[in-house]
Amino acid sequence: MAAPMFVPFYHRVADTHPNDWTISRTEFERHVDYCQSRFDMIGLDELQRRVDRKDSPCPSVTFSFDDGYAENGEFAIPLLIERGIPCVYFVAIEHIRSQTPFSHDVDAGVPLPVNTLAQIRDMADRGIEIGLHTRNHVDFSKVTDLQTVHHEITNATEELQNMIGQRVRYFAFPYGLPKHLTRVAIDAVDEAGMDGFCSAFGAYNTVGRDSFHIRRFHGDPCFARFQNWLSFDPSKLRSEPMIPYTIGHGESKQDYGNEEVEAKLTCEALIR
């Protein structure tokens, strides 16, 4: 079976201080209702299993969040927990530890609150997968020295595991565009013992590809655009940028559209 696997990402669910990285509570719940009624709701571990075993019987959705905004603990995460919907929640640990707002919020004149460590631990204890989003929300297109990469990923992974008392399995690149997905940073994710990394440039997950790279798209507040991403478009496979990297025992990986997969993945596959 070769149904596509979708991973939307969000940043902040709130009804105050709207901006480009915020979706309202009403619209987020609409996203959840729509996905839960039409797709398998799975975790990233199950997504990887389906990719590796080339067995994806039904289209699926996995919710994810980046950064770590405090308001997510007031509505969005409790909603997902109440419904038993898997979610991976990526945090920049120094912002959590020091309670420092993100620079992009400070620059916008609205220093929004970030999650506390107690909130993150509570999420983890209640079944939310906590992932790493670097230590300081680093732009790896501007950082190349090994010491900084090690500090932001390898050391940060161990520290986050100690903070929550659980293994950290996944990493999400800040900004997540091809230029940010550098070989040295991907190497560090592998060396840190994580199971995979997430991009954010807009792409599908399909069977038979390398599951170490998990592709995501924006959970767009415009519902029509969100629906469009959840309707499989084979042309997006052909236009997807290649992200070459090496993991494990020197095994070279390169992500690109697969013609066989593309032929099998049709809009009809979305009809359950």
DSSP states along 149-201: HIIIIIHHHHHHHHHHTS---EEE-SS--GGG--HHHHHHHHHTT-SEEE--S
Our measurement of the distance from residue 265's CA atom to the centroid of its chain's CA atoms, rounded to an integer in Å, reads 22
Segments of the chain scoring below 70 in pLDDT: 248-272
The per-residue pLDDT for 130 is 98
The per-residue pLDDT for 253 is 58
The per-residue pLDDT for 235 is 86
Our measurement of the distance from residue 98's CA atom to the centroid of its chain's CA atoms, rounded to an integer in Å, reads 23
| Structure confidence by residue, pLDDT tens digits, 30-39 | 999 999 999 9
Sign of dihedral through CA atoms 184, 185, 186, 191?
positive
- For the chain, how many helices (H) and strands (E)? 12, 15
Query: Residue 139 region, left (φ>0) first, then alpha (ψ -120 to 50), else beta?
Result: beta
The per-residue pLDDT for 215 is 98
- Amino acid letter at 155? N
The per-residue pLDDT for 248 is 66
How far apart, in whole angstroms, are the C-alpha atoms of residue 186 and residue 147?
14
The per-residue pLDDT for 272 is 33
pTM of the model: 0.92
**Strand blocks (E) in the chain:** 5-6, 8-10, 12-13, 22-23, 40-41, 60-61, 63-65, 87-91, 129-132, 170-172, 196-198, 213-214, 217-218, 243-247, 251-255
CATH no. of 5-270:
3.20.20.370
The per-residue pLDDT for 54 is 96
Q: What's 207's DSSP letter? A: T
